[in-house]
Amino acid sequence: MNRTRFDSSSHPLLTKGPHDCTPFLEYIIQDERSYQDYQFSCLPRPLFATHIPCSLLPASVMSSGCKIVYVFRETKDVFVSNWHYMTKLRLKELPSFPIKDAFDLFCKGVSHFGPFWDHVLGYWKASLENPENVIFLTYEDMKKDPVVCVMKLAKFLGKPFSLEEEREGVAQEIIRLCSFQNLSSLEVNQSGLQHFSPHFSVENRHFWRKGQVGDWKNYMTLEMAQQLDEITRQKLAGTSLIETLHVDTIT
């Protein structure tokens, strides 16, 4: 969206955390006045992030023609990643939060922003009903073939790559700039702070762990993985999501 305004040596991502470039709406708009003096984005063409379920988005989001990019990640990797993140943010005076306890809650649908499967289904259905404005991508596809995904995303956003840009490798340069390896190594993401509100800040380094597909195998037992796969199959039954979303069935 901003590739004609910045190059790989001047992009805001080099000096600002990703959440400063794509701020979370739910932290900006906490009441009727909280957003009035907020500088919404450091980018000329603003982009925003949100974890809000599709069913809770204002109707104006869809009617405005706003483009929504939804990224799904395999259920077991989502759970493990979230458990690590919440463990890092957990207050020291609180007792430890074993993975088994977190797993039991996750399987029951106790999760930030609602049950995981309801969240996925909401945006998946929206992408079928309104494909011009909602695109459904998977983390695994982005890791497997990032060039194809970036080209697809650019076209969806109405900013397709020109033949000249394709010859010059612009998509590949964007991928290099935005890669986990590059961003996680930057000073701002090693030592900076992300201020979500006057009373809530997170060290930027906590947003970067491994960025790998299948890392759940290092933390979940076979029984836990089988149970979560079965719940995922039940929740997504009757849809094409089982094949689309890389549900990793264990035998």
From first to last of the 251 residues of the chain, give the pLDDT tens digit.
888 888 888 899 999 888 888 888 887 776 666 665 555 555 566 788 999 999 999 888 888 889 999 999 999 999 999 999 888 877 788 888 899 999 999 999 998 899 999 999 999 999 999 999 999 999 999 999 999 999 999 999 999 999 999 999 999 999 999 999 999 999 999 988 777 766 777 888 888 889 999 999 999 999 999 999 999 999 998 888 877 655 555 54
8: in domain: no
Q: Which residues contact 138 (CB under 8 A, 6 or more apart)?
A: 71, 72, 73, 244, 245, 246
Annotated catalytic residue: which of 11, 51, 199, 206? 51
90: in domain: yes
- Full domain range(s) for residue 225: 53-244
On whether the CB atoms of residues 3 and 171 are closer than 8 A, the answer is no
pTM above 0.75, yes or no: yes
How far is residue 225's CA from residue 231's CA, in Å, rounded to a whole number?
10
44: in domain: no
Catalytic status, residue 51? yes
Q: What are phi and psi of 231, to 5 degrees?
A: -60, -40
The count of structural domains within the chain is 1
Name the DSSP class of 216: G
**CATH number (domain holding residue 223):** 3.40.50.300
